Amino acid sequence: DPPLDDLGRDQAAALAAAIGPVDRLITSPLLRTRQTAEAFGIEPVVDERWIELDYGDFDGVPLSSVEPEIWKQWRTDADFSPPGGESLRKLGQRVSEAMDDLALAEDSDLTTVVVTHVSPIKAAVCWALGVDDLVSWRLWVATASITSVAVGGGLRAMHGFNDIAHLRAAGLADR
């Protein structure tokens, strides 16, 4: 559970400045998301459902080191779990539950920011678009990017994906 480095702290500040004031802040329990959330200046709610995918034995292993047959199965079977890890389907279920809770809440009109990780962001996009969890393999998410989903009254719509204009403006996008 590594902390943010200097670049990460600068990116968090640029992110919070770009988004502006928020009504509700949700974060995963991992340190780097909690540190990113500090830049918003309000107390976050920690929600375990937003934690990164559990890669099990593949955590920290370059994809090029994963056996081709296993990599193919992982890319084509949303129920495949890496040894000791979690499947895309399980990730999608927990993120969908969290998104449903936000969409169906009486206060769904509040500006809510979720500070999370690459895989849960991809799962939230799949939820918003109503597509299979395997679509997440076709998405690339930059660190400290902004992905926007509008919810309310049970409806969902993508408003933006992987926006890094705030990082470019601050000279933090290509470092």
**Does residue 175 form part of some domain?**
no
**Does residue 87 form part of some domain?**
yes
Name which of 80, 56, 84, 59 is nearest 70 in CA terms: 80
Instruction: Note the pLDDT of residue 31.
Output: 98
Per-residue pLDDT of the chain (175 residues), as tens digits, is 899 999 999 999 999 999 999 999 999 999 999 999 999 999 999 999 999 999 999 999 998 999 999 999 999 999 999 999 999 999 999 999 999 999 888 887 889 999 999 999 999 999 999 999 999 999 999 999 999 999 877 778 999 999 999 999 999 997 6
Task: Look at the chain and report how many structural domains it folds into.
Answer: 1
Instruction: Note the pLDDT of residue 152.
Output: 74
Q: Quick one: tokens of 113?
A: 């920011």
**Does residue 1 form part of some domain?**
no
The CATH number of residue 92's host domain is: 3.40.50.1240
**Does residue 150 form part of some domain?**
yes
Instruction: Note the pLDDT of residue 175.
Output: 67
Instruction: Note the pLDDT of residue 50.
Output: 99
**Does residue 86 form part of some domain?**
yes
- 62: Cβ–Cβ under 8 A, 6 or more apart, which residues? none
Domain that holds residue 48: 6-169
Cβ burial 92-108 (10 Å sphere, 16+ → b, else e): bebbbebbeebbeeeeb
